[in-house]
């Protein structure tokens, strides 16, 4: 009995370590008709299995959860049924995930490299997140309301060269709504 317990502990702990090498953030590059774009896989442990989420920053896709994720006999596979995508591969001697990206009849090899620092992953760039230099003037404005509380606000003026009448301020919206 004394020999059986240590053997069981070794077997059970070995089973928990099988997923350790695949659980990571992975960055790969897909080349579709000469256009290259990055794919990010986030493989995590969930409950008793694995979960994979995919980001495609150039298409503003984030957190697309795979329907099925398996890692058995050194083979990783993730399936997204709704998009018809299957990514299947294995970890090579360099520690990269050598995989195939399948979508319908389109099949392409993709090498995913592990990313240790999430800051190194590509981010989704959104047009609604403007960066200077702006083509408009920004002024900080505060006013005192009837309750004597200061509320910060901003006025966005059109770029220089526009007519003065082109300016539109929030207080004008309310006035026109009351009048009309």
Q: How many CA atoms lie within 13 A of 36 on its CB side?
A: 5
Tens of pLDDT, residues 85-98: 999 999 999 999 99
Pairing, β 35-46 against β 24-32: antiparallel
Question: d(Cα 166, Cα 79) in Å, to the nearest integer?
Answer: 52
The DSSP 8-state label assigned to residue 158 in this structure reads: P
pLDDT of residue 165: 53
Q: What is the pLDDT of residues 109-134, one digit of tens each?
A: 999 999 887 776 777 666 666 777 87
Confidence of residue 3 (pLDDT cuts 50, 70, 90): low
pLDDT at 96: 93
pLDDT at position 116 is 83
Helix (H) or strand (E) holding 153: strand 150-157
Residue 41 token pair: 């896989």
Residue 6 binned pLDDT confidence (cut-offs 50, 70, 90):
very low
Q: What is the pLDDT of residues 35-75, one digit of tens each?
A: 888 999 999 999 889 999 999 888 888 899 999 999 998 89
CA pair distance 52, 77, nearest whole angstrom = 10
Q: Tokens for 165?
A: 């009448």
C-alpha span between 170 and 16 (Å, rounded):
59
In the chain, CATH 2.40.128 sits at 4-120
4-120: CATH topology: Lipocalin (2.40.128)
pLDDT band at 8 (very low <50, low <70, confident <90, very high): very low
């Amino acid at each position: 009995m004394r020999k059986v317990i240590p053997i069981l502990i070794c077997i059970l702990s070995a089973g928990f370590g099988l997923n350790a090498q695949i659980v990571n953030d992975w960055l790969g590059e897909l080349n579709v008709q000469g256009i290259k774009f990055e794919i990010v896989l986030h493989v995590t442990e969930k409950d008793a299995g694995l979960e994979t989420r995919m980001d495609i920053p150039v298409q503003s896709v984030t957190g697309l959860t795979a329907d099925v994720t398996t890692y058995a006999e050194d083979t990783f596979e993730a399936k997204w049924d709704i998009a018809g995508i299957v990514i299947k591969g294995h970890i090579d001697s360099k520690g990269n995930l050598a995989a195939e990206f399948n979508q319908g009849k389109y099949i392409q090899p993709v090498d995913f490299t592990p990313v240790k620092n999430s800051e190194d992953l590509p981010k989704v760039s959104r047009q609604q997140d403007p960066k200077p230099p702006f083509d408009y003037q920004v002024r900080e404005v505060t006013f005192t309301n009837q309750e004597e509380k200061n509320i910060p606000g901003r006025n966005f003026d059109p770029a220089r060269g526009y007519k003065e009448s082109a300016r539109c301020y929030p207080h004008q919206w309310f006035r026109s709504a009351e009048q009309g």
